[in-house]
Structure 1
Amino acid sequence: MKDDRQKSSIVGWSGLIWALVFLMNPDIGIFDILPDFIGYILFCVSIAKIANIDDRVNEARGLLQKMLYVGIAKFLALFVIFGLLPPTDRSVGMLLFAFVFTVFELVYLLPAIVKLTDGIIYLSVRHEGTAAYTPSVRTIKHGYKRTITEKVRRLSIIFVIAKAICRTLPEFASLTEQTFDGTARSSLYLYTDLFRALAIIVELVFMLIWFILTVRYIKLIKRDIVFIGNLEQQYDAEIRSKPDRPARRAIKAAFFCFGAAVILTPDLYFDGINILPDTLSALSVILGLWIVRKFIKGWQKVTVIASVYAAVSAVALFLDYKFRFEFYPESILRDIKAYNLYAAYCGVRGVSELVFVVLVFALLWIIMKNIITGHTGFVAVGALDQSEKIRVLHEELSKRLIIPAVFAGLSALTDIVSMFLINTADFVWLIEFLVSALFAFFMIRLMMGIDEQIEYKYMLA
């Protein structure tokens, strides 16, 4: 019985069910009661092991990981709509974001569904699976044969398209909100809530049909004991006996997150508002650390630092937005309330920049250093001693940690200086942006160099 449970662990069955729960709920524009990105996290984790033994499933997982970022961006877009946009522009903003995110979802989700089901069919052929080829009852009655996998794929595609249409279509009523003179209002816009309610009803119909059939399909695959057992045996032979493979994939995924984090580091202002919040950078680092946690020592310490940075930068972001909406930079020398608010912002932002420097140093000398020493080098061939060559390589890679650290410190310094020169030299933010861009460039270059050495090591293994 214990062995059977271990075999079934090739797939996170309960995680899949919970993922469907988070993904099936209807959207209102971009408002999502149960955040989709949580569902994508659960789904990616649940199929992680199978992704290691089949390229099709792995490609599907990669697309779902991209949907994770789309889901997070959709969640954060609510803050932009209700926190930054004036009330008169919120309806159009909802339409714009709903349309953009719908395009991203269709581009990523539809191929992911096809690749995932193709992977299941391929694995079933190779490993004596029968459940994936179970005929659909309805098609048998009509005299032709379609498998349950094909039916689930077709229904999933229909569900995704229907959900996209129902999410976006009601928001087009916002285009009739005002006429050219800015006074008259169209009666069509007044029924936006009714259109949304009708869309939700339609979504619920598709949602229930899709959810019930997909859950039945998952249970059917789970009961295919021979198929699951053979998958477990292949995983033991290809992955557990070669622990470097999941480590390499985890490091690649973590580098992707770290790369996104450093790209989000430069402060880019639009109408006085930073449209690249540092909190997003911190969250990307935390996600990357979580992905690589099984293969790198010291990730807990860096995660704590990144969490502190996320919290402090969020407070700084709030104070910055509050000041920008209530005062002007010139008000600092004229209004005591503006002065106190800006002083509080400068204090919190200064602490945030110091924590940022600590985070970068920890990321470089704990995480990157561990990756360099643990996953780069040369594989010994015969009686040849490669220790000296490995030591030289590690020293060379470790020296590359210095340049990103220097630019991280300069970025923090110029950011602090720009706060105090806001009324005398407001161009300093441009210097800070350029320094931060150089930090991002050298950080990405460092990770590309490390990744190249990782591939070189295991290519010769």
Structure 2
Amino acid sequence: MGNVKPRRKRTVSPVVRALARCAAGALFLLNPNLDVVDLVPDALGYLLIVSGLKMLEPVSPSIEEARNRFSMLLRISVIRIVSLPVRMSVGYNEKTFILIFTLAFAVLETMYLLPAFHYLYDGTSYLALRHGQSAAKTKAPRIISGVFAVGRAVLNVLPELKYLPSQQYYSEFEGPVVAYERIKLAQLSHMLLLVNLVFTVLLSTVWVIRFRLYLRRLRKDPVFDRSLAAELAEQPRDMGLELLGKMKPAFTLISLAMFAGLDFYADGFNLVPDFLPALLLLAAAFYLYRANECKRSLPTVASIYAVLTAALGIYNYIFASKHYALATLNRPDALRMQFVHTVLASVCSLVFAVLMFMFCMTLVGVTNRHAGLFAEPEFRTTNLKTQRQRLRVRNLIWTCFALTILAEAMQVVYGALVIKHAILWIPAAAITVALGALTASTLGNLYYQIELRHGKVL
């Protein structure tokens, strides 16, 4: 991996790339939430939008403000994903907490999403008036964006209203008791879910079409493209800073993927499906590939792993909804379905091990090329210390790989024996959390070494 041949770069305008990333990120905000689970994580959409806005923020303070808001939304979305097992375990005994958590995240996201849209449209409208021709006549979809921001929050909370205490009755033995009787809103749980699905998809589709059409009109204006690209080209460039900008999201995604590898089964359903870390690793692979730090085989294997985990997630849903209860009764047909589930999970784990080996080789190559080892004479005396630190980072990378294999093996054992030995979740979770912490620490150290190499931290 140390001899990565430079690829011929496509002559695509940075303006087109930035707006295209924002348009692609909007697609990830289309899906509704089902039982507090975000099927296609909003974090991926916010990550793409932040990446696109970061390319334009040097020429517009409003774009910078929008990027800050979307960055905060990215953090909130990640916290919502990571806290899912905790929310489900707490909500298992007291369903009202699910409603409280959902409402809290909905209000918090709306508080940041509304100003994010405001600053985004202010910035793009200003740039269109300053640089554009036909783009200057394009009207930003402010109203539909505001309706979308508020509407998706309301619709996401709507299905959880079934957990409101419905009736208070008096028991001769227990006294006044608040019970979740299937009356009123609880009786309409399926209708609430259907309303959430239909109207969220309709509202999101209308917003995505308007938003992407707005960005498309900006991209199709050649005067706007050339003029803004010329201004961006005149901005002072720092190659070291650009490298750090490419490495940081990749390192962040890899660290989050290690934490997101935590499996948590409830009635046979894996509440944190492997498809989530697969998407994070796929995005990290593309970041490294675009930075010319890896070969094409890395995003290819990451794509294969994402497809396999998607298939595993679908099979897990079928098995848990139709065969898990029978498997607890040792029915032969259900046990065969569970065996197939275990085999498919094992195949995904093997591909995951190969993928992580390739990631480790890539990170070792990044360490060799960019970490430490100052060439300037005044830093010659510190090179021995820097060399030791670089070797320490390499050793930590391979330690992470060994811990990854152990954690994945433990997750497979937990998934295979979850019916009779659910207590295995504790050691599996402990190893996975330790892996995430070690990965974050190692990549943070590597990022610091890259900063040292390029003179950002002295």
Tell me if both proteins adopt one fold, taking TM over 0.5 as the criterion. yes
Q: Where in structure 2 are the equivalents of 1:43-442 lying within 5 Å?
A: 43-44=49-50, 46-51=52-57, 57-58=63-64, 60-61=66-67, 63-64=69-70, 67=73, 99=103, 102-116=106-120, 131=130, 158-159=146-147, 163-164=151-152, 167=155, 182=181, 218=218, 223=223, 228=228, 231-235=231-235, 238-239=236-237, 242-327=238-323, 331=327, 334-366=330-362, 368-382=363-377, 385=380, 389=384, 391-419=387-415, 421-422=417-418, 425-442=421-438
Q: CA deviation at 1:377?
A: 1.0
Q: CA deviation at 1:415?
A: 3.0
Once residues 420 and 380 of structure 1 are traced to their aligned partners in structure 2, the CA distance between those partners, rounded to angstroms, is: 53
Relative distance call for 1:357 and 1:48 in structure 2 (3 A) is same
Once residues 281 and 212 of structure 1 are traced to their aligned partners in structure 2, the CA distance between those partners, rounded to angstroms, is: 27
The reply on whether 1:10 has 2:40 as its aligned counterpart is no
Once residues 149 and 137 of structure 2 are traced to their aligned partners in structure 1, the CA distance between those partners, rounded to angstroms, is: 20
- Contact kept, 8 Å, 2:263 with 2:273, in 1: the verdict is yes
Relative distance call for 1:198 and 1:48 in structure 2 (3 A) is closer
Relative distance call for 1:47 and 1:11 in structure 2 (3 A) is farther
- Contact kept, 8 Å, 2:312 with 2:341, in 1: the verdict is yes
- Contact kept, 8 Å, 1:51 with 1:58, in 2: the verdict is yes
TM-score, with normalisation over the residues of structure 1? 0.67
Q: Specify the code of the residue in structure 2 equivalent to 1:234.
A: E
State, as a whole percentage, how many aligned pairs show the same letter.
Answer: 18
Q: Deviations over 1:285-326 (max 9, x none)?
A: 111121232224335322233233333333334444434333
Larger RCO of the pair (alpha carbons < 8 Å, separation 6+)? 2
Once residues 329 and 20 of structure 1 are traced to their aligned partners in structure 2, the CA distance between those partners, rounded to angstroms, is: 39
Q: Specify the code of the residue in structure 2 equivalent to 1:411.
A: A
- Contact kept, 8 Å, 1:267 with 1:276, in 2: the verdict is yes
Once residues 27 and 133 of structure 1 are traced to their aligned partners in structure 2, the CA distance between those partners, rounded to angstroms, is: 36
Q: CA deviation at 1:38?
A: 8.4
Relative distance call for 1:73 and 1:314 in structure 2 (3 A) is farther
Q: Specify the code of the residue in structure 1 equivalent to 2:371.
A: T
- Contact kept, 8 Å, 2:278 with 2:302, in 1: the verdict is yes
- Contact kept, 8 Å, 1:159 with 1:210, in 2: the verdict is no
- Contact kept, 8 Å, 1:12 with 1:46, in 2: the verdict is yes
Relative distance call for 1:308 and 1:62 in structure 2 (3 A) is farther
Q: CA deviation at 1:155?
A: 5.2
Give the aligned length.
418
SS in 2 for 1:401: helix
Which residues of structure 1 form unaligned runs of 5+? Answer: 1-5, 76-91, 135-146
Structure whose alpha-carbon radius of gyration is higher: 1
Relative distance call for 1:183 and 1:68 in structure 2 (3 A) is closer
Q: Deviations over 1:298-357 (max 9, x none)?
A: 353222332333333333344444343334588478422022112212211222222222
- Contact kept, 8 Å, 1:285 with 1:306, in 2: the verdict is yes
Once residues 176 and 429 of structure 1 are traced to their aligned partners in structure 2, the CA distance between those partners, rounded to angstroms, is: 30
Instruction: Judge which range, 337-346 or 189-198, deviates more.
Output: 189-198
Q: CA RMSD in A?
A: 5.6
Relative distance call for 1:157 and 1:288 in structure 2 (3 A) is same
Relative distance call for 1:374 and 1:27 in structure 2 (3 A) is same
Q: CA deviation at 1:251?
A: 1.0
The reply on whether 1:450 has 2:446 as its aligned counterpart is yes
Once residues 275 and 148 of structure 2 are traced to their aligned partners in structure 1, the CA distance between those partners, rounded to angstroms, is: 30
Relative distance call for 1:156 and 1:430 in structure 2 (3 A) is same
TM-score, with normalisation over the residues of structure 2? 0.67
- Contact kept, 8 Å, 2:59 with 2:232, in 1: the verdict is no
Q: CA deviation at 1:278?
A: 1.4
Q: CA deviation at 1:47?
A: 3.6
Relative distance call for 1:233 and 1:304 in structure 2 (3 A) is closer
Q: Specify the code of the residue in structure 2 equivalent to 1:231.
A: E
- Contact kept, 8 Å, 2:19 with 2:219, in 1: the verdict is no
What corresponds to 2:5 in structure 1? none
- Contact kept, 8 Å, 2:278 with 2:305, in 1: the verdict is yes
SS in 2 for 1:10: helix
Q: Specify the code of the residue in structure 2 equivalent to 1:112.
A: A
Once residues 334 and 166 of structure 1 are traced to their aligned partners in structure 2, the CA distance between those partners, rounded to angstroms, is: 43
SS in 1 for 2:290: coil
- Contact kept, 8 Å, 1:273 with 1:324, in 2: the verdict is yes
SS in 1 for 2:350: helix
Once residues 298 and 432 of structure 1 are traced to their aligned partners in structure 2, the CA distance between those partners, rounded to angstroms, is: 31
Instruction: Judge which range, 449-458 or 435-444, deviates more.
Output: 449-458
Q: CA deviation at 1:279?
A: 1.4
Once residues 192 and 324 of structure 2 are traced to their aligned partners in structure 1, the CA distance between those partners, rounded to angstroms, is: 36
- Contact kept, 8 Å, 1:8 with 1:228, in 2: the verdict is no
- Contact kept, 8 Å, 1:380 with 1:386, in 2: the verdict is no
Relative distance call for 1:375 and 1:51 in structure 2 (3 A) is farther
Q: CA deviation at 1:197?
A: 12
Once residues 7 and 302 of structure 1 are traced to their aligned partners in structure 2, the CA distance between those partners, rounded to angstroms, is: 23
Q: CA deviation at 1:116?
A: 4.0
